[in-house]
Amino acid sequence: MKGLFKSKPKTPAELVRLSRDLLIVFDQDSIRESKRDEKMAELSKVVRELKCILYGNSEAEPVAEACMQLTQEFFKENTFRLVVICLPKLNLEARKDATQIVANLQRQQVNSRLIASDYLERNTDLIDILMTGYENADMALHYGSMLRECIRHQVVAKYVLESEHLKKFFDFIQLPNFDIAADAAATFKELMTRHKSTVAEFLSNNYDWFFEDYNSKLLESSNYITRRQAVKLLGDMLLDRSNSATMTKYVSSRENLRILMNLLRESSKTIQIEAFHVFKLFVANQNKPADIAIILDANKDKLLRLLGDLKTDKEDEQFDSDKAQVMQEIASLEPKELP
């Protein structure tokens, strides 16, 4: 007879509400120790069901209407906030599932709007929590993954760029834990490349302190991986048309030229190649300041020998063409004197 009275499957909205009730219990620590494991198992099951609605499973694709209902309910009563705040209290599997849910919700539209963007604009303190997550080894990869997805929203990227947290990236990228440092570097790259106009405005307004820290802490880091990632990202930023004003300013500095010439002399071919893509901008600048032209001319023979030996592992016609042009430009430099 029991089979005749099976409970009806919960709707997406009901599952979200159930997860919220359980999260509140853990947030307020209003649970007896003897019941904790039971409640955590229940919460983990609900979180797994929510993830299946958003991502589908081996038997079914996600249903748009169900995803929309889930998304609306998630942001209606601060379930999103509870997930972020309570994440350290969840078991590992629930943390992983919750991280994937948060990531997916950033892309879900309701009535053609990304309501996650509107929510985060009103709740920027949650971004602060995600940022400081890099300081907690157990939470760094979960919060870092969430933060990267939230940066898809321009309002979030702008908030992080303008916050005091940004300076912490220069330290997070060099943390001794390789996985956390790599995650922080991936987030930093996303932040500095995704939203072109926001990044261009930021670099224009914060040029001096940003590149002083970028040069000293990243490009001149004692860590090989940090230097390699930093010079690659520098090329990505300076070669982006949106950042043309910043690029012109950067390649007019003799201190920047000194750093790039040192990177060109690295034993690592990967760093040399990435450094070349930035160095060529100094050489190609048709309005070189006199001190830049003098340094290039004074080091002409060394640079030509170094560039002559610089080759990519695979055939690269664009690289070979760029290198030939740079070498021709350096070879044709005339000795100059400072005015």
- pLDDT given for residue 337 in this prediction: 57
Label residue 46 by pLDDT band (50, 70, 90): very high
The pLDDT tens digits for 135-177 are 999 999 999 999 999 999 999 999 999 999 999 999 999 999 9
Residue 241's alpha-carbon distances to 162, 235, 302, in angstroms, are 22, 12, 31
- pLDDT given for residue 312 in this prediction: 86
The pLDDT tens digits for 194-244 are 999 999 999 999 999 999 999 999 999 999 999 999 999 999 999 999 999
Between these two residues, 254 and 8, which has the higher pLDDT value? 254
The pLDDT tens digits for 106-130 are 999 998 999 999 999 999 999 999 9
- pLDDT given for residue 29 in this prediction: 75
DSSP state of 113: E
- pLDDT given for residue 315 in this prediction: 84
- pLDDT given for residue 4 in this prediction: 52
Looking at the DSSP bridge assignments, the partners of residue 113 are: 110
Backbone angles phi, psi at 17, to 5 degrees: -65, -40
Structure tokens that stand for 129 in this block: 């929590």
Backbone angles phi, psi at 109, to 5 degrees: -100, 140
- pLDDT given for residue 1 in this prediction: 47
Would you say the C-alpha torsion 56, 59, 63, 69 has a positive or negative sign? negative
Helix (H, G, I), strand (E, B) or coil at 193: helix
Yes or no: say if 140 and 180 are a contact pair by the CB < 8 Å rule.
yes
- pLDDT given for residue 305 in this prediction: 93
Q: What is the mean pLDDT of residues 178-193?
A: 96
Closest CA to 86 of 159, 135, 30: 30
Helix ranges (H only) for the chain are: 12-27, 33-55, 64-76, 79-86, 92-105, 115-122, 125-132, 140-150, 154-162, 169-172, 178-193, 196-205, 207-213, 224-238, 244-250, 254-264, 269-284, 290-298, 300-309, 317-331
% of the chain at pLDDT higher than 70: 96
Q: Reply yes or no on whether the pLDDT at 34 is more than 80.
A: no
